[in-house]
Amino acid sequence: MDLEGNLLLVTIEGIDGSGKSTLLSALKSQLADLDPIFTREPGATWVGEAVRRAIAEQIDPITEASLFVADHAAHLSTLVRPALSQGRLVISDRYSDSRFAYQSVTLKGIVPDPEGWLRAMHDGWSITPDRTFLLVLSIDDALARLSDKSGREHFEKREVLEAVQNNYLAYARAEPLRFVIVDAALEKEVISKFVADGIRLVVKMGKEGRKR
Ligand code: TYD
Protein backbone atom coordinates (compact mmCIF):
# COMPACT_ATOMS: atom_id res chain seq x y z
CA MET A 1 0.00 0.00 0.00
CA ASP A 2 2.97 2.30 0.52
CA LEU A 3 3.39 3.78 -2.92
CA GLU A 4 4.84 7.06 -1.77
CA GLY A 5 8.07 6.45 -3.67
CA ASN A 6 6.19 6.09 -6.92
CA LEU A 7 5.54 9.72 -7.68
CA LEU A 8 1.80 9.66 -8.07
CA LEU A 9 0.47 12.39 -5.80
CA VAL A 10 0.63 15.83 -7.36
CA THR A 11 -0.72 18.97 -5.71
CA ILE A 12 -1.50 22.41 -7.04
CA GLU A 13 -1.11 25.29 -4.61
CA GLY A 14 -1.28 29.07 -4.68
CA ILE A 15 -3.02 32.03 -3.12
CA ASP A 16 -6.63 32.92 -3.92
CA GLY A 17 -6.74 34.50 -7.36
CA SER A 18 -3.62 32.69 -8.59
CA GLY A 19 -5.57 30.89 -11.33
CA LYS A 20 -5.74 27.37 -9.95
CA SER A 21 -9.28 26.76 -11.19
CA THR A 22 -8.42 27.76 -14.76
CA LEU A 23 -5.31 25.58 -14.65
CA LEU A 24 -7.18 22.60 -13.24
CA SER A 25 -9.84 22.68 -15.91
CA ALA A 26 -7.17 22.83 -18.65
CA LEU A 27 -5.29 19.90 -17.08
CA LYS A 28 -8.46 17.80 -17.09
CA SER A 29 -8.48 17.77 -20.86
CA GLN A 30 -4.73 17.87 -21.44
CA LEU A 31 -4.01 14.90 -19.16
CA ALA A 32 -7.14 12.84 -19.93
CA ASP A 33 -5.04 10.01 -21.41
CA LEU A 34 -3.37 9.46 -18.00
CA ASP A 35 -6.82 8.97 -16.43
CA PRO A 36 -5.93 10.94 -13.29
CA ILE A 37 -8.18 11.36 -10.28
CA PHE A 38 -8.78 15.07 -9.81
CA THR A 39 -9.66 16.04 -6.30
CA ARG A 40 -9.54 19.01 -3.95
CA GLU A 41 -9.28 20.35 -0.43
CA PRO A 42 -11.47 21.42 1.16
CA GLY A 43 -14.51 19.52 0.07
CA ALA A 44 -13.67 16.12 -1.39
CA THR A 45 -15.92 14.58 1.29
CA TRP A 46 -18.92 15.81 3.32
CA VAL A 47 -16.52 17.13 5.99
CA GLY A 48 -15.87 19.93 3.51
CA GLU A 49 -19.39 21.22 4.14
CA ALA A 50 -18.45 21.83 7.76
CA VAL A 51 -15.31 23.63 6.58
CA ARG A 52 -17.32 25.89 4.25
CA ARG A 53 -19.69 26.73 7.08
CA ALA A 54 -16.76 27.49 9.40
CA ILE A 55 -15.28 29.84 6.78
CA ALA A 56 -18.61 31.56 6.13
CA GLU A 57 -19.38 32.05 9.84
CA GLN A 58 -15.83 33.12 10.66
CA ILE A 59 -15.72 30.70 13.51
CA ASP A 60 -12.69 30.82 15.83
CA PRO A 61 -9.41 30.01 14.07
CA ILE A 62 -8.63 26.86 16.07
CA THR A 63 -11.99 25.32 15.17
CA GLU A 64 -11.50 26.31 11.55
CA ALA A 65 -7.97 24.89 11.40
CA SER A 66 -9.09 21.64 13.06
CA LEU A 67 -11.90 21.25 10.53
CA PHE A 68 -9.45 21.73 7.64
CA VAL A 69 -7.30 18.96 9.16
CA ALA A 70 -10.37 16.74 9.63
CA ASP A 71 -11.27 17.34 5.99
CA HIS A 72 -7.73 16.28 5.02
CA ALA A 73 -7.99 13.07 7.09
CA ALA A 74 -11.31 12.18 5.46
CA HIS A 75 -9.90 13.03 2.03
CA LEU A 76 -6.91 10.75 2.57
CA SER A 77 -8.86 7.82 3.91
CA THR A 78 -11.75 7.87 1.46
CA LEU A 79 -10.05 9.01 -1.72
CA VAL A 80 -6.28 9.58 -1.79
CA ARG A 81 -5.05 6.36 -0.15
CA PRO A 82 -7.42 4.07 -2.08
CA ALA A 83 -6.49 5.78 -5.36
CA LEU A 84 -2.75 5.59 -4.71
CA SER A 85 -3.05 1.96 -3.70
CA GLN A 86 -4.57 1.27 -7.14
CA GLY A 87 -1.58 2.98 -8.74
CA ARG A 88 -3.68 5.94 -9.93
CA LEU A 89 -2.31 9.39 -10.47
CA VAL A 90 -3.95 11.79 -8.00
CA ILE A 91 -3.98 15.53 -8.67
CA SER A 92 -5.25 17.62 -5.78
CA ASP A 93 -6.34 21.25 -5.99
CA ARG A 94 -4.89 22.39 -2.62
CA TYR A 95 -3.59 19.99 -0.01
CA SER A 96 -1.59 20.16 3.25
CA ASP A 97 0.62 23.09 2.16
CA SER A 98 -2.57 25.20 2.07
CA ARG A 99 -3.01 24.47 5.76
CA PHE A 100 0.58 25.30 6.61
CA ALA A 101 0.51 28.49 4.54
CA TYR A 102 -2.96 29.84 5.47
CA GLN A 103 -3.52 28.59 9.02
CA SER A 104 -0.02 29.72 10.07
CA VAL A 105 -1.44 33.18 9.38
CA THR A 106 -4.90 32.75 10.92
CA LEU A 107 -3.47 31.11 14.07
CA LYS A 108 -0.81 33.75 14.66
CA GLY A 109 -1.07 34.98 18.24
CA ILE A 110 -3.61 32.27 19.01
CA VAL A 111 -1.32 29.27 19.40
CA PRO A 112 2.36 29.79 20.28
CA ASP A 113 3.93 28.18 17.20
CA PRO A 114 1.23 27.92 14.52
CA GLU A 115 3.32 26.19 11.87
CA GLY A 116 4.79 23.71 14.35
CA TRP A 117 1.29 23.02 15.69
CA LEU A 118 -0.07 22.46 12.19
CA ARG A 119 2.80 20.23 11.08
CA ALA A 120 2.50 18.17 14.27
CA MET A 121 -1.22 17.72 13.47
CA HIS A 122 -0.20 16.02 10.20
CA ASP A 123 2.78 14.05 11.47
CA GLY A 124 2.78 10.29 11.15
CA TRP A 125 -0.37 9.80 9.08
CA SER A 126 -0.51 12.31 6.25
CA ILE A 127 1.13 11.69 2.87
CA THR A 128 3.60 14.21 1.49
CA PRO A 129 2.97 15.01 -2.18
CA ASP A 130 5.51 13.82 -4.71
CA ARG A 131 5.38 17.09 -6.62
CA THR A 132 3.76 20.42 -5.82
CA PHE A 133 3.18 23.10 -8.43
CA LEU A 134 3.01 26.50 -6.75
CA LEU A 135 1.33 29.29 -8.71
CA VAL A 136 2.94 32.59 -7.80
CA LEU A 137 1.83 36.07 -8.83
CA SER A 138 1.85 39.59 -7.47
CA ILE A 139 -0.67 40.34 -4.74
CA ASP A 140 -2.03 43.22 -6.87
CA ASP A 141 -2.75 40.84 -9.74
CA ALA A 142 -4.36 38.31 -7.40
CA LEU A 143 -6.57 40.96 -5.83
CA ALA A 144 -7.54 42.30 -9.26
CA ARG A 145 -8.65 38.81 -10.30
CA LEU A 146 -10.66 38.44 -7.10
CA SER A 147 -12.26 41.88 -7.23
CA ASP A 148 -15.21 40.88 -9.38
CA LYS A 149 -16.20 38.18 -6.89
CA SER A 150 -18.78 39.35 -4.40
CA GLY A 151 -18.38 38.62 -0.70
CA ARG A 152 -14.70 38.00 -0.13
CA GLU A 153 -13.66 35.31 2.30
CA HIS A 154 -11.50 36.50 5.19
CA PHE A 155 -8.49 34.83 3.54
CA GLU A 156 -8.74 37.13 0.55
CA LYS A 157 -7.36 40.28 2.16
CA ARG A 158 -4.08 41.82 1.01
CA GLU A 159 -2.15 41.25 4.27
CA VAL A 160 -3.34 37.66 4.49
CA LEU A 161 -2.53 36.84 0.86
CA GLU A 162 0.89 38.45 1.19
CA ALA A 163 1.74 36.45 4.30
CA VAL A 164 0.33 33.23 2.80
CA GLN A 165 2.37 33.63 -0.39
CA ASN A 166 5.53 34.32 1.65
CA ASN A 167 4.90 31.12 3.58
CA TYR A 168 4.47 29.14 0.36
CA LEU A 169 7.72 30.58 -1.02
CA ALA A 170 9.57 29.63 2.16
CA TYR A 171 8.31 26.04 1.81
CA ALA A 172 9.43 25.99 -1.82
CA ARG A 173 12.89 27.15 -0.78
CA ALA A 174 13.03 24.50 1.93
CA GLU A 175 11.95 21.69 -0.42
CA PRO A 176 13.25 22.58 -3.88
CA LEU A 177 12.94 19.02 -5.17
CA ARG A 178 9.24 18.78 -4.41
CA PHE A 179 8.13 22.29 -5.35
CA VAL A 180 7.95 23.69 -8.85
CA ILE A 181 7.28 27.42 -8.93
CA VAL A 182 5.00 28.52 -11.74
CA ASP A 183 4.78 32.12 -12.92
CA ALA A 184 1.02 32.63 -12.73
CA ALA A 185 1.23 35.89 -14.70
CA LEU A 186 2.03 33.98 -17.90
CA GLU A 187 -0.58 33.14 -20.55
CA LYS A 188 -2.90 30.43 -19.31
CA GLU A 189 -2.01 28.12 -22.22
CA VAL A 190 1.70 28.43 -21.38
CA ILE A 191 1.03 27.66 -17.73
CA SER A 192 -1.11 24.62 -18.41
CA LYS A 193 1.37 23.17 -20.92
CA PHE A 194 4.26 23.70 -18.49
CA VAL A 195 2.40 22.00 -15.64
CA ALA A 196 1.00 19.19 -17.83
CA ASP A 197 4.51 18.44 -19.14
CA GLY A 198 5.83 18.51 -15.58
CA ILE A 199 3.18 16.05 -14.44
CA ARG A 200 3.94 13.69 -17.34
CA LEU A 201 7.57 13.72 -16.27
CA VAL A 202 6.60 12.90 -12.70
CA VAL A 203 4.50 9.96 -13.90
CA LYS A 204 7.33 8.69 -16.11
CA MET A 205 9.79 8.86 -13.23
CA GLY A 206 7.28 7.05 -11.02
CA LYS A 207 6.90 4.22 -13.54
CA GLU A 208 10.66 3.89 -13.92
CA GLY A 209 10.93 3.83 -10.12
CA ARG A 210 8.46 0.92 -10.00
CA LYS A 211 10.43 -1.11 -12.56
CA ARG A 212 13.57 -0.98 -10.44
P1 TYD B 1 -10.90 26.89 -2.15
O2 TYD B 1 -12.25 26.31 -2.19
O3 TYD B 1 -9.78 26.14 -2.77
O4 TYD B 1 -10.98 28.35 -2.72
P5 TYD B 1 -10.41 28.84 -4.09
O6 TYD B 1 -11.04 27.97 -5.13
O7 TYD B 1 -10.89 30.26 -4.11
O8 TYD B 1 -8.92 28.71 -3.99
O9 TYD B 1 -10.51 27.18 -0.65
C10 TYD B 1 -11.29 28.05 0.12
C11 TYD B 1 -10.39 28.87 0.99
O12 TYD B 1 -9.85 28.04 2.02
C13 TYD B 1 -9.20 29.49 0.27
O14 TYD B 1 -9.15 30.86 0.62
C15 TYD B 1 -8.01 28.79 0.85
C16 TYD B 1 -8.49 28.33 2.19
N17 TYD B 1 -7.84 27.13 2.73
C18 TYD B 1 -7.22 27.22 3.98
O19 TYD B 1 -7.19 28.28 4.60
N20 TYD B 1 -6.65 26.11 4.51
C21 TYD B 1 -6.66 24.91 3.89
O22 TYD B 1 -6.14 23.92 4.41
C23 TYD B 1 -7.30 24.82 2.59
C24 TYD B 1 -7.35 23.50 1.89
C25 TYD B 1 -7.89 25.96 2.07
pLDDT in tens, the chain (212 residues): 344 445 599 999 999 999 999 999 999 999 999 999 999 999 989 999 999 999 999 999 999 999 999 999 999 999 999 999 999 999 999 999 999 999 999 999 999 999 999 999 999 999 999 999 999 999 999 999 997 665 667 788 999 999 999 999 999 999 999 999 999 999 999 999 999 999 999 999 887 765 54
Closest CA relative to residue 168, chosen from 118, 122, 101: 101
Best of 12, 13, 16 for a ligand 1 pocket test (most atoms within 8 Å of beta carbon): 16
Q: Among 112, 102, 96, which Cα is nearest to 166's?
A: 102
Ligand 1 centroid from CA 108, angstroms: 18
Residue 148's pLDDT is what?
66
Distance CA 208, CA 15 (A): 33
Ligand 1 centroid distance, CA of 55 (Å): 9
Give ∠ CA 145-11-61 in degrees, rounded to 5. Answer: 70
Q: What is the model's pLDDT at position 3?
A: 42
- pLDDT at residue 147 in the model: 77
What is residue 149's predicted lDDT score, i.e. its pLDDT? 63
Ligand 1 pocket, mutate which of 102, 126, 147 (most atoms under 8 A from CB): 102
> φ, ψ for residue 108 (rounded to 5)?
-60, 130
- Report how far residue 6's alpha carbon sits from residue 203's, in angstroms, rounded to the nearest whole number: 8
Q: What is the pTM of this model?
A: 0.94
Beta carbons of 96 and 179 less than 8 angstroms apart: no
Distance CA 50, CA 112 (A): 26
What does the pLDDT read at residue 211? 58
Q: What is the pLDDT of residue 4?
A: 46
Distance CA 108, CA 117 (A): 11
Helix (H, G, I), strand (E, B) or coil at 68: helix
Strand 9-14 to 90-93 pairing: parallel
Crossing angle between the packed helical segments 188-211 and 20-30, to the nearest 10 degrees: 60
**pLDDT at 6 (0 to 100):** 58
Domains of the chain, first to last: 9-211 (3.40.50.300)
99 lines ligand 1 (CB under 6 A): yes
